[in-house]
Amino acid sequence: MSDLVPTTKYEITKKDISKDRRLRAMAIALPPVLSLVPSATLFILSFIFGTTPPAAFFFLFMSLVTLIGGFVLGGIGSVGTLIYRSRWLSQLRERVAIDGIKPSEVDWFKNELSSEEKRALKDIRSKDLLLADAYQETLASRLTATRIIKSTRDELMLAKRRKNKLKYLKSERLDDFRKEIDDDISNLQNIKNEAEEMLVESKSRLQMIDAASRRGTELAGKELALKKLSARTEQLPLALEEARMTEDLRKEVVKELEDDFEEEMKGVKLLDK
């Protein structure tokens, strides 16, 4: 199954960074631009063309209307932009996290950090860049482990449901399919267990680094442990992706069996009639 391991790894590009900045700036700029620019333009025109009281009143009234209307439209556009940006970032994070979250990518996953982790990262960055790198690397491991645990939990539920469906199917290879699904469940459970160990290890190391920063000490002799944790961060997502692809193939086979079983049941009903 090694040939099923995905080889495409997504890296954050300058285009992604630029798009994120544009979307964020657009969400901030839309309300003032759509309200103030037309309103200010009409207000200025009132001095140029408002030679009579009715004309001046008309321009001032329209200036107020465009101010309110533009602000409402800008607010709607800003909310829509933020929703689009949120969905785009969510899809981007999923592509980035396929091969494990790297330390340089942690800032893109800030919404998944706890308030304590955000505070500690900011505080350590202001004190010691070496400790900050170690903390950020461990955060990447923690984020990866958390995502893998959630994903494998979902995959395990689906695999167990598919196993239960096999009870109602008739096939000469039913025992083989059941054994293969059992193997997949065992594989997913092993990945989940290893991810839980990595989560506990990374949380402990985060506390250790935070404590070291508070004491003003360095992490002497911890480089090897950090490298080991980083290696597991890269290996586990690939193992999970391989298990997922195996499960996708299994789903196709089970679906074909279900379709054959349904057709067989329809034939039996027709004969009964």
Residues 140, 108 share a domain? yes
Say how many C-beta atoms besides its own lie within 10 A of residue 2's C-beta: 6
Residues 91, 119 share a domain? no
Residues 233, 196 share a domain? yes
Neighbouring residues of 224: CB distance < 8 A, sequence distance ≥ 6: none
Residues spanned by the domain of 18: 1-98
Residues 118, 43 share a domain? no
Residues 141, 25 share a domain? no
Is the model's pLDDT at 179 over the cut of 60?
yes
Residues 195, 242 share a domain? yes
Is the model's pLDDT at 273 over the cut of 80?
no
Burial class (CB in 10 A: 0-12, 13-18, 19+), 21: exposed
Q: What mean pLDDT is predicted for residues 153-180?
A: 76
Residues 26, 12 share a domain? yes
Q: What pLDDT, on the 0 to 100 scale, is given for residue 229?
A: 55
Residues 70, 45 share a domain? yes
Q: What pLDDT, on the 0 to 100 scale, is given for residue 82?
A: 94
Top pLDDT among 230 and 99 is at 99
The tens digit of pLDDT for each residue in 56-97 reads 777 788 888 888 988 999 999 999 999 999 999 988 888 888
Lowest-confidence range among 13-17, 239-243, 266-270?
A: 266-270
Q: What pLDDT, on the 0 to 100 scale, is given for residue 62?
A: 83
Say how many C-beta atoms besides its own lie within 10 A of residue 136's C-beta: 19
The tens digit of pLDDT for each residue in 15-47 reads 989 999 999 999 999 998 888 888 888 778 777
Q: What pLDDT, on the 0 to 100 scale, is given for residue 260?
A: 57
Residues 118, 94 share a domain? no
pTM of model > 0.75: no
Confidence of residue 221 (pLDDT cuts 50, 70, 90): very low
User: Of 49, 73, 98, which residue is a domain's last?
Assistant: 98
Confidence of residue 186 (pLDDT cuts 50, 70, 90): confident
pLDDT above 70 coverage of the chain, percent: 72
Q: What pLDDT, on the 0 to 100 scale, is given for residue 13?
A: 86
What angle separates helix 174-215 from helix 223-272, to the nearest 10 degrees?
150
DSSP letter string, 76-110: HHHHHHHHHHHHHHHHHHHHHGGG---GGGGGGGG
User: Of 98, 114, 130, which residue is a domain's last?
Assistant: 98
Residues 170, 48 share a domain? no
Q: What pLDDT, on the 0 to 100 scale, is given for residue 238?
A: 57
Residues 83, 117 share a domain? no
Q: What pLDDT, on the 0 to 100 scale, is given for residue 50?
A: 63
Q: How many domains does the chain have?
A: 2
Confidence of residue 242 (pLDDT cuts 50, 70, 90): low
Distances (CA, A) of 54 to 48, 57, 62, 193: 14, 5, 12, 78
What is the pLDDT of the chain when averaged over all its residues?
77
Lowest-confidence range among 40-54, 201-215, 238-252?
A: 238-252
User: Of 98, 116, 144, which residue is a domain's last?
Assistant: 98
Residues 107, 19 share a domain? no
